[in-house]
Chains A and B, each alone.
Chain A
């Protein structure tokens, strides 16, 4: 079970995050100020940290900087009530792995944590082919195959499929998909992502094959891991 340190000064929010992590299958520990959080993070091997941007003791940015300077590369999800784009950039530059803006849906938090956890576990660029079930994606020839069938993909579809396959088994929110694949940080609107995922899904899940794509109502999408 992955262990997550929650550094958050508001006790109620911290409890809420912890509860939602427990539900998502994580073990959560809480810490209520920056200096203490930093100490805890350096003392024990956590799998991931959720870090509030504004903390008493030490600012979230300082905590993540200090962590990185100490050589600790635990994935950090920064959580903030501050405005988005500029603060996201500063947060990521300081060493955060992802940036989530309050208020957020619990599933969004879990999804983002899973994504950064997976990214940190994955050995760098060793993989040349990603496989999920009988679906394979060759990163070198940029070819997708389901069973023996070759699937033609547009460039964006390729990026989308790669992201979903890398995070197979994980519910991915529309916004998370939009940010990770298209790299834009605005609200993509109601069903823009649905349509893109839908297109890809029709290419992958043809009649007769066991469906790989699953829609989580009101939340996002998931690519079946098994």
Chain B
């Protein structure tokens, strides 16, 4: 596994980022602790120094030197500074050789480094006595400085540890997803190489990779189904076009051999070729409808009006075929649709119904009473249950369609138009016959 690939993973970057943020938080926390303790300790030292200095200042001037010596003698741990200087700064007594230049009598406390007579850093205050002499009181602040050191090293070590652990976790966490990603890539490669049945592996985690794999698998399912349909369609198309073409070819061959040709025979060949053209047109129309989706000119369409128009167009045909064609309008039903396309869909259903109802048959075209549904019923032979879904597929010609003239793709075209509208076309048994229902409610309402 490549290190660079590893470093680029989201998991690794997130872990590293978290480590960095954690380290920063740690620095802030320890810094705050240090700051608060340092201030506290400094204030405490200052308080002690002020109290001691005040006590010495209040004592009689003649006793100051003696008290300093006593205090130094009593300070077994040697962490106090007591010293007395002449008004010009010459040492009189105590454990400080010289008055530090920064230390001003009655001024703010100052810190100095170790001196020969007080070998530790000290914090000092100076007070001028009434005699003019300068009193210096101080205290060892080594502890304070040591604490600073401890906190600084704690920061350094813990910070580095956090960052290192963060990086390590990042790498460790990234390896698994990266491995899974590689298996996904391999699977995709196999799909790209033509194995459409291959699916991406999913784990038990239901994490984002699984979500993605599931989406890809669904898409692949659709692709496989479509490819299957296309293959099926190609075979159907080849069969449907080849049959009349073969017949036409045979007839032409025969005419070529014949001594004389009658117009009726030529008309027969022409009719065969017209069948091919008709089917071809229907196929073109279907594929056009498939890609039309975005172009459809949708507008509010009155279904009652549309049904009346279809009825006007087909009533004469029904009469000529001896079919009883009944049209029932209802209250105006307005749906959002491409009126011309929907007209074509209903026309195809009615055309089919009239064809299959046959002499003395019955065809009814009506609107649903409660819902915007267009219902076309006939009392013909109907469609076997097993074929009902198949006939709605692209390019499918049912067995019964091969018995009657026409492209036989009317139902497929109607189904394609209905699909384009996101309506629903349902075929059911009209007992006897076929009932086709176009449900014109938007999909969101239907389900």
Interface residues of A (CB under 8 A from B): 83-86, 101, 103, 105, 156, 182, 184-192, 195-196, 198-199, 217-218
Contact = CB atoms under 8 A, between A and B. Distances in A.
Interface string B370-411: 000000000000000000000000000000000001110010
Given A190-B406, A195-B320, A218-B270, A182 B313 contact: yes
A189 B351 contact: yes
A187 B278 contact: yes
A186 B406 contact: no
B280 interface: yes
Looking at chain A's contact residues, is the secondary structure mostly helix, strand, loop, or mixed?
loop
A190 B413 CA distance: 16
Contacts of B347: 184, 186, 188-189
Given A83-B284, A103-B280, A195-B320, 17 more contacts: A83-B285, A83-B287, A84-B288, A85-B292, A182-B313, A184-B347, A186-B347, A187-B407, A188-B347, A189-B347, A190-B406, A191-B317, A191-B320, A192-B314, A196-B313, A196-B316, A199-B316
Interface residues of B, number: 32
Contacts of B314: 192
Contacts of B277: 103, 105
A195 B271 CA distance: 19
Contacts of A103: 277, 280
Contacts, number: 62
A156 B271 contact: no
B282 A192 contact: no
Contact of B284 (A84, A156, A188, A196): A84
Contacts of A182: 313
B288 A105 contact: no
Interface string B271-309: 100100110111011011000100100000000000000
Contacts of B22: none
Contacts of B369: none
A223 B230 CA distance: 45
Given A86-B292, A105-B274, A184 B343 contact: yes
Contacts of B288: 83-86
27 contacts: A83-B284, A83-B288, A84-B284, A86-B295, A101-B281, A101-B284, A103-B277, A105-B274, A105-B277, A156-B312, A184-B343, A184-B347, A186-B285, A186-B413, A187-B285, A189-B347, A189-B351, A189-B410, A190-B406, A191-B320, A192-B313, A192-B351, A195-B317, A198-B316, A217-B267, A218-B267, A218-B270
A79 to B, nearest CB: 15
Nearest to A157: B316
Nearest to B413: A186
